[in-house]
Amino acid sequence: MSRIFRSTALHIILALLAGLGVGLFYSWRISPVTYVDAHPALLRADFKDQYRIVIAASYESTQGPHPCACPPRPARRRRPYR
């Protein structure tokens, strides 16, 4: 191997390692991924338990769905006068 090839290969390897390190630092420390409105199946087990507790507490406090959340009943038809 020539000296130029070794130097070039070393620079490429060092540049790739530096890019990997900078990319990992940026993605873990500066701008990490945040999940918003995640599906419950994607949650960790302890967060699933917490989610179930919150849902149960909400249901208990409202005693079921809010009356306005239900679809309206159809209007009763009046019989014509005979």
Domain ranges in the chain are: 1-32, 34-67
Whether the CB-CB separation of 48 and 40 falls below 8 Å is answered with yes
Q: Is the pLDDT of residue 1 over 60?
A: no
3-class secondary structure, 73:
coil
Q: Which of 30, 49, 47, 46 is nearest to 38 (CA)?
A: 47
Sequence-distant (6+) residues with CB within 8 A of 2 are none
The mean pLDDT of the chain is 82
Name which residue leads in pLDDT, 32 or 5. 32
User: What confidence tens digit (pLDDT) does each residue in 15-49 have?
Assistant: 999 999 999 999 999 999 887 888 888 888 999 99
Ramachandran quadrant class, 66 (left: phi over 0; alpha: psi -120 to 50; beta: rest): beta
**Confidence class of residue 66 from pLDDT cuts 50, 70 and 90?**
low
